[in-house]
Structure 1
Amino acid sequence: MIDSILDQMTLEEQVSLLSGADFWTTVPVERLGVPKIKVTDGPNGARGAGSLVAGVKATCFPVGIALGATWNPELVGQMGAALARQAKSKGAAVLLAPTVNIHRSGLNGRNFECYSEDPMLTAELAVAYIDGVQGEGIAATIKHFAGNESEIERQTMSSDIDERTLREIYLPPFEQAVRRASVMAVMSSYNRLNGTYTSEHYWLLTKVLRQEWGFDGIVMSDWFGSHSTAETINAGLDLEMPGPARDRGEKLVAAVREGKVEAATVKAAARRMLLLLERVGAFEKTPALTERAIDLPEDRALIRRLGAEGAVLLKNDSILPLAKTSLDRIAVIGPNAATARVMGGGSAQIAAHYTVSPLEGIRAALANANSISHAVGCRHNRLIDVFKGKITVEYFKGRGCKGHPLHVETVEKGEFFWFELPSGDLDPAHFSARMTMQFVPEESGDHVFGMTNAGLARLFVDGALTVDGHDGWTRGENYFGTANAEQRGAARLEAGKAYAVTVEYEPSTANGEGINLIAVRFGVEKPLGEADIAAAVETARNADVALLFVGRDGEWDAEGLDLPDMRLPGRQEELIERVAAANANTVVVLQTGGPVEMPWLGKVRAVMQVWYPGQELGNAVADVLFGDVEPGGRLPQTFPKALADNSAITGDAAVYPGKDGHVHYEEGVFVGYRHHDTRAVEPLFPFGFGLGYTRFSWGEPKLSSYEMGPDGVTVSVDVTNIGDRAGSELVQLYISSPKTKVERPDKELRAFAKLSLQPGETGTAVMKIRPRDLAYFDVEGGAFRAEPGNYQLIVAANAADIRFIIDQPSPSAYVLSPSHQATSLIG
């Protein structure tokens, strides 16, 4: 059928398939019965089309690093299937996920969205995720291909990475997604790779992806991430997103007529687009036109389980789990206690059905809720607290909010990120909006209003201009670098008095590097100070245990910017130290999208990292704190003692964050634990680390063979739960190679198995390694090479906790082409 349709298409019709129709849909060819399909973000939920931060509600699942911490591909596969069902509820056929870029620096704004610093762990989870999504008839889109490990100058930065490092660290998750999961779509990244934009990188998109790996799906650009006509189509980019066409359309037709692009190249790309439509069943069924919010009990249960499975207990000085019946007074403190920080920022955001804060989860878990006291202590927000309450929004044709509004609506949050305006009669480039609301402060005193806008805006309080986001507007780092830095204005307000707040907004035609977005965010808060920290300390002093909920949120861990450092923002470190001094039973619960320095670690009794685990955050945290379930997580990323211990942080700007438009991956393959092990840099917490509530004993490893053959070697380890609680144990298998002509890491993860065992139960961790697992990439030979010699198999609980070392003789050297086919076997 596809070839029949394709043969009937004109060149113009073929070209029309190669650009989006709008932000989320492809172009139909009605004459030939070719439908359009819809795509949707994202990694931790299926968002509706109308807005990044509002619109039809969606189920909010854990972020990528929280999934990485589960080390549980089976559970991640279940989440993929659930996400596919959510995508169907939004009428979408393609999910723009998963994100599999590698944790390189620890400062990447999208570190939270990615799984791990290790390509093998990343690949296993990605394959499971994709299998889950595509098993339900929805296409997965693995991203961002490739070298997108930082958000700094992300539209133009060149990631300069040598081929060996690419092949061993940054490409394997994409490769495995193609080979094992048959992923249907790949998204190119914004950045350049070794000087060439990935959207027009022939070596990457055609030679490696299609010719070597056999990929037969589509390659789409990241949104506004294509920059040319002939170069992108000739390199292998099929779909320019979003639409309408910018570099395709008439420009591409003209490029064919002028001989810059072969007609066969266009036809091949159009064929891949039609194949995608066929694979997702678009020719047989019509997706729902109306987006629906489906909040399923099975999804709630899965999110709650994933939250506990990914919670990593980093320290426990005989205090956890807490006994529900023996605690008379519990202090719940910190900026993340009463506010549910359930996701990171950027395109992964969704409008969740609901959220459960830690304070709410703890209250629900305890019968005697009166025993709980709460104090904020301090703030950590990068932006002023967003306004929440009734807001009337009036939309006008043209600028200046003049005449009668064309559309009026009421919303509950002072943040607007429009993909679609509420009326088709409104021109996204030539409209204006007025938001009016009342603010009634709870306390008298100085308040701060803040606003950031992609476009032009002004905020008035009782008619007085308080925040000017119009005159002198300059681009900052908010909204993917298309908005200004947050502008602020102070006002002294009286408690209980109603103040009229008005925001007037209109779009701008030039707000950022090829991406024109329409968005505004405004808020108000009363700054916290010394009295608030002192109140939190007193709250802790009068409690049996102090639970401190600290970390960051989606304003810090966000697409479009990297973190300034690896410290907790605001006065949180001071808050921890002062609370711990007042209460010896202080437990810290961290929410961050990556590692943090912990100068206060020795002063608290327990530390648990829970990441951003989705809408069931509070319930999942309470489950673990009170021992209803165990903390099942293990670190997917090394936590260094200090930022300078990271291999990318050398003091040379060319290595990170970049210099003169280039960031040089000078550390090569020595990323994460590979760096810490090989360079003898002791971490704060090693890769794979995590404590539980029970104890295990390990038997001696057993091997299927002591010689590596084409079918590989199986390693099995018996593990027994010798404690009195159910729990899980992670068994990791690393290889250590003999000396080669290139430097190799001390050890490299090649397999793992996670066992869940009842008290007294014994299970067997079964792990398999194959010839490729012994190999490094030989750039001169253009192949993966495993030199002859003895390879050590290292069985470990984490990168620093080695249980067994087995010498594995390998009498022959395997030379494997990048396509995995053994081209020769030499003795």
Structure 2
Amino acid sequence: MTKHHPRARTTLNESRIALRLAALSLEEKCRLLGGASTWRTHAIARLGIPALKMSDGPNGVRGESLGSHRTPGLSIPTSIVIGASWDLNLAQELGVVLGREARRKSVHVVLAPTVNLHRTPIGGRTFECLSEDPELSAQLAAAIVRGVQSNDVAVTVKHFAGNDTEVERMTVDAQIDDTTLRECYLRPFEATVIDADAWGVMSSYNKLNGAHAANNVELLRHILRDDWGFDGFVVSDWFGAHDTAGSIEAGLDVPMPGPATVYGRHLLAAVQEGRVSEARVDERVETLLRLIERTRADERPASSVEQTVDDPNERAVVRHAAAAGAVLVRNEHSALPLEVGSVQTIAVVGPNARVTRTQGGGSSSLQTIESVSLLDGLTERYGADAIRYRRGVSIDKLAPIVDDDTLRTPDGETGWQVEYYDRDEVQGAPRRVDITGQSALTYFGAAPPGVDPFDFTVVVTGDFVPQVDGVHDVSLVITGMGSLSVQGETIVDDPQGLLPRGREYFGFGSEEQLHGIPMKRGEPVRFVARMRTRAGFSALRIGIRAPEDPHEFDRAVSLAADCDAAIVVVGTNDEWETEGHDRDSIALPGRQDELVARVAAVARRTIVVVNAGAPVAMPWLNDVDAVLIGFFGGMEMGRAIADVLSGERDPGGRLPVVYPRQLSDSPAMRDYAPVNGVQRYTEGEWYGWRGQARAGIEPLIAFGHGLSYGESVWGAPRVAVDASWPRCSVTVPVSCVSARPVTVVVQCYVRKAGDTNPPRLAGWAKRELSPSTSGDMVVEVPWTAFRRWNPARRAWHMAGGEWEVLVAASSVDVRARLNVVIDERESAPSRGSDQPPDQPA
């Protein structure tokens, strides 16, 4: 089989790499490959080899700082918003922003992008992934990679591979046939490696076809390095490597986190005992040294100094992106836009209006510079006199974290006091005293200066000032040993860390310990919490739920009836959508469906904004006037959605995932639950919208659907074919025929002529046209759209003959059909979408 990897390479100092490799002792090589700490690799001072610093993404760069000394950062929209934008230029621009943020945090490697596919609608990290579609995910991910790495910051495209669920994620064996694996689940990884020259890949927790990803020879060596020509580094997901000899043989460069439990002294012993060759170690060390060159780590060493920069231009990009990915799925009688001054009063109701979720839960979350709620954005846009607000219902899964001025330190400042002690020595003076602005603390291999992050005690002390009379629910979730007292009475005491484990904090947190505490409005209540940790990851979460107003629901409905228009903001939050576990349902939590239905029955105009990072059921869809899906839109989401609702911006998004009417409509759900640790992808390529269409199941909202405020007319498409390449381009004349600008996304789907199965997305073009303007929109359909995997030959096959190209506005809105003829060819599996195939068959 021909191997050909024509990608452009970064100019490297190869001589320095060679000199450093030759000068390293075996012990130093093994130490270099084992993580030094949770977020850093080892430095070898003797040779001037710097450490590399890593940080989580993909919707921001958190840095090392956690707990009570977090460094705020820029929060871009979550990946599903980028997927909904269908905008390659915007994806690359957001990648550039992430790269700049990484440099401010002294970070060399960003753990992003996440390119796993939306196999089901309930994945806990759906918000963190781009799309259900392989090609949409592939091209957008490649654009993000180009943007990040333009700043000399490496990516780690994750999670490689088959990590499409959070169920039993550390151990589950994803069984995927070779054709489905290559054509669907590996496609985004392939594009980032071959087309965008990604410098890093992260192996996933799960097993893939019998072997853990971190020691999977077929995945890491044969596919990634041999077939795709990858010369970058592979890092394990944190705590995701288990086998020293197996991992080094497969091609895992750095198991994380440190201190090393797989490489380091364990690798040294394996070499000395003859279980691993030093040549294999040298391969991995050379890769890491290459990464040091690519990220210019010699010029910008890893530092604990992390900067917060609030750049207005970058805020503008983030705001633009949130609007570009907002999807208008219903707009009856032109209910939107709701122009400023067109109505006198607007009722804003719903649980996510004041507490708008801008990011999901898990490792991707960060402390943002600012998080603008939709209520704030609407108030800025329409004015305080026009906006009336009621929450209506609550959706908190746990007693909510408190992060406002109802928290007071013993000295009367806003927040709670946090004291750090070595080990469990709490009798003497603390090592450090901080103030936290919220009632939850998370530590992941980082602690304040002078505190051992792997063995310390934290004591949190402060008052909570109730705003209402009555019994308040007070809860504690804790990962280690600890206690909680309220007004001097101990309500939780777990000195041995024996509380049953729950689903929070990746499954390391305890079940929520809930107690009712009587409180009086305005009278401070003293809280003292203590936690001892001897692990790299620990968390303490205190929640306080005030008594509910029994009339709140009815008051929200009455408010909606009294105003000229009602905006109902529904959705989920980072407890429902989070790394660590999947959702159990696509239904909106709590009484939100009932709230929408009741408001729709009495309001003059009902507009629903869906603030959820994954598909949700909408039994009320046909009863409301307009529905705008905003997902988790980053720190500027509140302003961006207000821009769209008011008509300042056109809703630019198209759905990157199908919305089913019910969970059972999703084809992958029939084999969703692992059996004896095995999760079989029996649906093959027929998951998501294509699986539903093949089964004749009508979606609630189709893949690719999205409305504009403007109107367009499409002319007859023209197709130009280079059958010998093969590739084709489809040109569609489009005109704006409205007084408002129109956003158009021309989508092209392909299938073999005569095939009655649903086609595959092959390419698209997006453009905004001003009123009374016209233009040609050109969709490039790459040669990869016409290839199919031949598992017997372990090669791609160019399926020649006649193909049908469907020109569409969504998967169900086909505007034209064209036929093209493609030559039959064989092609090597190492090609990107811009490379020609091999010789004719």
Smaller-chain TM-score range?
over 0.9
Q: Where does residue 561 of structure 1 map in the other structure?
A: 581
Deviations 1:434-466 (A, max 9, x none): 111111211111210112111123222111223
CA contact (8 A) 2:499 2:511 kept: no
Match of 2:360 in 1: 344
Identify the residue that residue 365 of structure 1 maps to in structure 2.
381
Match of 1:512 in 2: none
Change (3 A) 1:771 1:370: closer
Aligned match of 1:800: 812
Offset of residue 393 of structure 1: 1.2
| Paired amino acid for 1:214 | G
Shift of 1:196: 0.7
Q: Partners in 1 of 2:690 and 2:382 — Cα distance?
A: 44
Provide the residue aligned with 2:136 in structure 1: 121
272-281 or 416-425, larger mean C-alpha shift:
416-425
Secondary structure of the residue aligned to 1:648 is: helix
- How big is the alpha-carbon RMSD for the aligned residues of Structure 1 and Structure 2? 1.7
Q: Name which of 496, 515, 530 aligns with 1:489.
A: 515
Q: What amino acid is aligned across from residue 751 of structure 1 in structure 2?
A: G
Give the one of 616, 619, 633 matched to 1:599. Answer: 619
What is aligned with 2:717? 701
Q: Measure the CA separation in 1 of the matches of 2:438 and 2:773.
A: 51
Structure 1 residue 724 corresponds to structure 2 residue 716: no
State the shift of 1:823 in Å.
5.1
Residues 624-635 of structure 1 aligned to structure 2 (within 5 Å): 624-635=644-655
The residue aligned with 2:826 is 815
Indicate the residue corresponding to 2:313 in structure 1: 298
- Quote the offset at 1:233 in angstroms: 0.5
Deviations 1:306-362 (A, max 9, x none): 011000001111210002112111111111111131101111011100111111111
Match of 2:524 among 498, 501, 518: 498
Q: Distance in 2 between matches of 1:503 and 1:763?
A: 64
Contact residue 106 and residue 300 of structure 2 kept, 8 A: no
Q: Distance in 1 between matches of 2:767 and 2:550?
A: 47
Cα deviation 1:163-209 (Å, max 9, x = unaligned): 10100110011001111110000000000101210000000000000
| CA spacing shift, 1:745–1:235, aligned 2, 3 Å | farther
C-alpha distance in 1 between matches for 2:451 and 2:757: 58
Q: CA deviation at 1:425?
A: 4.6
Aligned counterpart for 2:335 among listed residues 315, 319, 322: 319
Amino acid in structure 2 at the alignment position of 1:377: G
- Structure 1 pair 54–374 and aligned structure 2 pair: CA distance change class (3 A): farther
Q: 1:72 to 1:590 in 2, by over 3 A?
A: same
- Counterpart of 1:20 (choices 35, 49, 53) is 35
Task: Kindly provide the amino acid, as one letter, of the partner of residue 703 in structure 1.
Answer: V
AA paired with 2:468?
E
**CA separation of 1:322 and 1:646: change in aligned 2, threshold 3 A:** same
Partner of 1:230: 245
In the alignment, what sits opposite 1:416?
Answer: 441
Flag the 1:355–1:489 CA change in 2: closer, same or farther, 3 A: same
Query: 1:380 & 1:732 partners in 2: Cα distance?
Result: 37
Question: CA separation in 2, counterparts of 1:422 and 1:247?
Answer: 24
Structure 1 residue 381, shift from structure 2 partner? 1.5
Name which of structure 1's ranges 235-244 and 11-20 shifts more when overlaid on structure 2: 11-20
Taking a change above 3 Å as real, the CA distance of residues 745 and 131 of structure 1, as seen in their structure-2 partners, is farther
The answer (yes or no) to whether the contact 1:41–1:96 under 8 Å persists in 2 is yes
In the alignment, is the contact (CA less than 8 A) between 1:80 and 1:131 conserved in 2? yes
Aligned pair partner of 1:459 in 465, 478, 484: 484
C-alpha separation in 1, matches of 2:185 and 2:68: 31
Once the two structures are overlaid, the 10-residue window that deviates more, 390-399 or 219-228, is 390-399
Match in the other structure for 2:7: none
TM-score normalised by length of structure 2: 0.94
Q: Which of residues 776, 780, 792 in structure 2 aligns to 1:768? A: 780
Is the aligned partner of 1:536 residue 2:536?
A: no
Deviates more, 1:340-349 or 1:767-776: 767-776
Amino acid aligned to 1:773: A
Following the alignment from structure 1 to structure 2, what is the Cα–Cα distance between the partners of residues 279 and 711?
34
Letter in 1 for 2:500: T
Give the deviation of 1:415 after TM superposition. Answer: 1.2
Give the unaligned 5+ runs of structure 2.
1-15, 408-414
Deviates more, 1:416-425 or 1:524-533: 416-425
Work out whether residues 670 and 745 of structure 1, in 8 Å CA contact, stay in contact via their aligned partners in 2. no
SS at match of 2:840: strand
The alpha-carbon deviation at position 659 of structure 1 amounts to: 1.8
Q: Aligned pair in 2 of structure 1 residues 718, 303: CA closer, same or farther (>3 Å)?
A: same
- Which residue is equivalent to 2:190? 175
Deviates more, 1:744-753 or 1:393-402: 393-402
Bigger shift: residues 577-586 or 265-274: 577-586
**SS of 1:337 mapped into structure 2:** helix
Q: In the TM superposition, what whole-angstrom CA distance separates every residue of 1:262-296 from its partner, at most 9, and x where no partner exists?
A: 11100010000000000111223445551110110
| 1:129-170 CA-partner distances (Å, limit 9, x unpaired) | 000011111111100000000111111111111110100110
Structure 1 window deviating more from structure 2 (496-505 vs 746-755): it is 496-505
Aligned equivalent of 2:417: 392
Partner SS for 1:86: helix
Does structure 1 residue 274 correspond to structure 2 residue 274? no
Structure 2 residue aligned with 1:447: 472
> Does residue 670 of the first structure (1) align with residue 719 of the second (2)?
no
For 2:45 and 2:434, the matched residues in 1 are separated by 34
Q: Is the 8 A contact 1:378 1:528 kept in 2?
A: no
1:623·1:629 contact (CA, 8 Å) conserved in 2?
yes
Matched pairs, number: 810
Q: Matched residues in 2 for 1:494 and 1:423: separation? A: 36
Give distance in 2, aligned partners of 1:783 and 1:770: 18
> Is the 8 Å Cα contact of residues 753 and 819 (structure 2) preserved in structure 1?
no
Amino acid in structure 2 at the alignment position of 1:695: E
Q: Does the residue aligned with 1:751 lie in a helix, a strand or coil?
A: strand
Residue 432 in structure 1 maps to residue 448 in structure 2: no
Task: Report the CA distance between 1:636 and its aligned residue.
Answer: 0.3
CA contact under 8 A between 2:32 and 2:264: conserved in structure 1? no
